[in-house]
Structure 1
Amino acid sequence: MSTPRFLTLPPGVSRTIVESSRGPFAALEALPGSRVPERCPALLLPGLTGSKEDFLAMLQTLAASGRRVVAIDMRGQHETPGPDDPDAYGRAALGGDLVALLEALGPDPVHLVGHSFGGLVAREAVLAGPARPASLTLMSSGPSAVTGPSADKARALRDAIPELGMAAIWSIGMEPDYVASGVQGEILAFLKDRTLGNSEAGLVGMSREILTAPDRVDELAKHCGDTGLRTLVLYGEDDDVWDPRVQAEMAERLGAAKVVIPSAAHSPAWEAPETTAAALSDFWNLCEHSLK
């Protein structure tokens, strides 16, 4: 894959394609300095309107501990192709893609991280049964569908795309806000490229899914208890999508470890990358110690 002109990658991070039984997935890959991984790999899954680049600021730090770290675009996101049918973007279908990716990145068990909507997809993959990740991290994700202002935004996106299209939504509703907030240069160019590169059908389908996701926390807790899968709930102290109190309660129901990232909101991997990477590495190392 050629490197887009919009975003400069740090040393040690490269663009690649992960081939799987469910098709190709665009990815960012980071390896340790030796280029020889010594620990279990990790797979990072973005949220609904996100992409693999959301994890860019912490990929080097995560890989430095001796592991291969891969962040992907889900089907229909940014640089991964997807069908023009909103029904193809259900949580179960996306979870099936994730199972295939875990198999492709093996044979060692893979640490799985799902951000926001990606956390709901990761949960589906785990509950489907075949996948046996080394650990599961739900990052800024919730027990069920979004509510309140976040639900209003998801409904607005779902309803506006068929009528206006993403090009008009970008020009009218997104770009002016980014410019007003001081986003410039290659970041603004990247955001436009990503926004217009996303499958419109995928955005509609995933918006439906984040508005209707059921609470499956008790099922996941039972699965973790039965299989020994260790789980981490990680979120910013100022998360404005799922209330931090809701995420804390989810962690308690799961019997999961919990990390609250100071000075971060809904995107701790971007807002506090070093703190978030340290928390993930500590958790992964602990899980690997228990696997021995």
Structure 2
Amino acid sequence: MSRPATFVPPSGARAYRLGTARGEFAVIDAPVAPGTAAKGTVLLLPGYTGSKEDFIALHEPLAAAGYRTVAVDGRGQYETPGPKDDETPYALDELARDVIAQVDALTGATTNATTNASTNATGGTSTDSGADATQNRVHLVGHSLGGLVARAAVLLDHTRFRSLTLMSSGPAEISPSQQQRVKLLRDGLAVMNMAQVWDAIQALEPPEDAAGQKDLDAGLDDLETLRKRWLLNSPAQLTATGRQLCTEPDRVAELAAVPLPVHVLSGERDDTWSPALLDEMAVRLTAHRTVVRGAEHSPNTDCPLETAAALAAFWHQLDQ
């Protein structure tokens, strides 16, 4: 599971519940640094078993680069509640609709975006001016599972977004070795409660070995905080999204047809989706490609300064 360096938001950031048309979502919202020209808003979606805290180390460098960053717990993740037994709300399209509702709440762009989506669907042109439309769109970043959710949101309605970054998130299902890990977790959730599953995970993966593990995410030694986060996750969410990770179809061709800039970013080592596979996906998408040296599956926690610099550089070039 992901291990952020801290669960404490940086100075100036605000943790609160974002009200949307689809309910409330726990977020960490960091404004642009004082005295810095605002360049846009970024929505950050965490990976499987992760949370909004996985992006904590990105807030300050991106604020200094001119970006407001909003990291969110998805439905049933950590501090955003969700049904514990019903998997229906965790279908990928439902999670994608949550993302669109979050964007609307952050930008107040519901009317314009809905108009754009309707016009686009009929083959017409948008009625928004280019400057206004760009201002009302966000840069979307999805890590791992969050990348699959982000892709689904873009395919549902790309007009709400300025760009898409797929961070350590591949074209289809995860690798066979990681599928086996997810299956073990799903099997455990079927017969044990969350506390029992946590104890089983700790028995199989001792804390002192955490630095060398190659989990679905990667690094915080505060086991009590990690345990609290784990216990607040919805079992139904973990089961449903775990199944999605193991069965996701290849939707790269669909995404390539969307008129939206795409960035494929990863570490140089990853056994969830291999860097070579991500290289190939980037070519198919005609996407910008970044490999963060020294990082594995979670460049956001492994090498946050380098990751933030790569993100900002990609967004900056879009405005040139």
Deviation sequence 1:125-163 (CA, Å, 0-9, x none): 011126430100000000001121111011111111020
What fraction of aligned residue pairs are identical, expressed as a percent? 43
**How far did 1:176 drift?**
6.6
The size of the alignment, in residue pairs, is 280
TM-score (norm 1): 0.91
**How far did 1:211 drift?**
1.0
* RMSD, matched Cα: 1.9
User: Conserved in 1, the CA contact under 8 Å of 2:267 and 2:294?
Assistant: yes
Higher mean displacement: 171-180 or 211-220:
171-180
**In the TM superposition, what are the counterparts of 1:95-174 in structure 2 within 5 Å?**
95-106=96-107, 107=109, 108-129=136-157, 131-174=159-202
**How far did 1:60 drift?**
0.9
Q: Identify if the C-alpha distance between structure 1 residues 153 and 42 changes in structure 2 by more than 3 Å, giving closer, same or farther.
A: same
**How far did 1:12 drift?**
2.3
**What is the distance in 2 between the residues matched to 1:148 and 1:176?**
19
**What is the distance in 1 between the residues matched to 2:174 and 2:222?**
27
Higher mean displacement: 271-280 or 186-195:
186-195
Q: Identify if the C-alpha distance between structure 1 residues 247 and 68 changes in structure 2 by more than 3 Å, giving closer, same or farther.
A: same
Equivalent position amino acid for 2:77 in 1:
Q
The runs of at least 4 aligned residues of structure 1 exceeding 3 Å deviation read 182-186
Equivalent position amino acid for 2:309 in 1:
A
**In the TM superposition, what are the counterparts of 1:1-292 in structure 2 within 5 Å?**
7-34=7-34, 38-84=38-84, 85-106=86-107, 107=109, 108-129=136-157, 131-174=159-202, 177-181=205-209, 187-223=222-258, 227=259, 229-289=260-320
**How far did 1:40 drift?**
1.1
Equivalent position amino acid for 1:261 in 2:
V
**What is the distance in 2 between the residues matched to 1:112 and 1:56?**
16
**What is the distance in 2 between the residues matched to 1:130 and 1:9?**
30
Q: Which runs of 5+ in 1 are unaligned?
A: 1-5
**What is the distance in 1 between the residues matched to 2:204 and 2:247?**
30
User: What is the SS of the residue equivalent to 2:67?
Assistant: coil
**How far did 1:36 drift?**
7.8
Deviation sequence 1:228-263 (CA, Å, 0-9, x none): x10000000011210111111000000000000101
Identify the residue that residue 3 of structure 1 maps to in structure 2.
none
Equivalent position amino acid for 1:199 in 2:
S
Q: Identify if the C-alpha distance between structure 1 residues 185 and 71 changes in structure 2 by more than 3 Å, giving closer, same or farther.
A: closer
Equivalent position amino acid for 2:174 in 1:
V
**How far did 1:277 drift?**
0.2
User: What is the SS of the residue equivalent to 1:134?
Assistant: strand
User: Conserved in 1, the CA contact under 8 Å of 2:175 and 2:271?
Assistant: no
Q: Which runs of 5+ in 2 are unaligned?
A: 1-5, 110-135, 212-218
User: What is the SS of the residue equivalent to 1:233?
Assistant: strand
User: Conserved in 1, the CA contact under 8 Å of 2:264 and 2:290?
Assistant: yes
User: What is the SS of the residue equivalent to 2:26?
Assistant: strand
Higher mean displacement: 6-15 or 109-118:
6-15
**How far did 1:64 drift?**
1.3
**What is the distance in 1 between the residues matched to 2:51 and 2:225?**
11
Higher mean displacement: 6-15 or 148-157:
6-15
**What is the distance in 1 between the residues matched to 2:7 and 2:24?**
22
Equivalent position amino acid for 2:247 in 1:
T
**What is the distance in 1 between the residues matched to 2:77 and 2:238?**
8
Q: Identify if the C-alpha distance between structure 1 residues 140 and 185 changes in structure 2 by more than 3 Å, giving closer, same or farther.
A: closer
Equivalent position amino acid for 2:75 in 1:
R
**What is the distance in 1 between the residues matched to 2:99 and 2:35?**
25
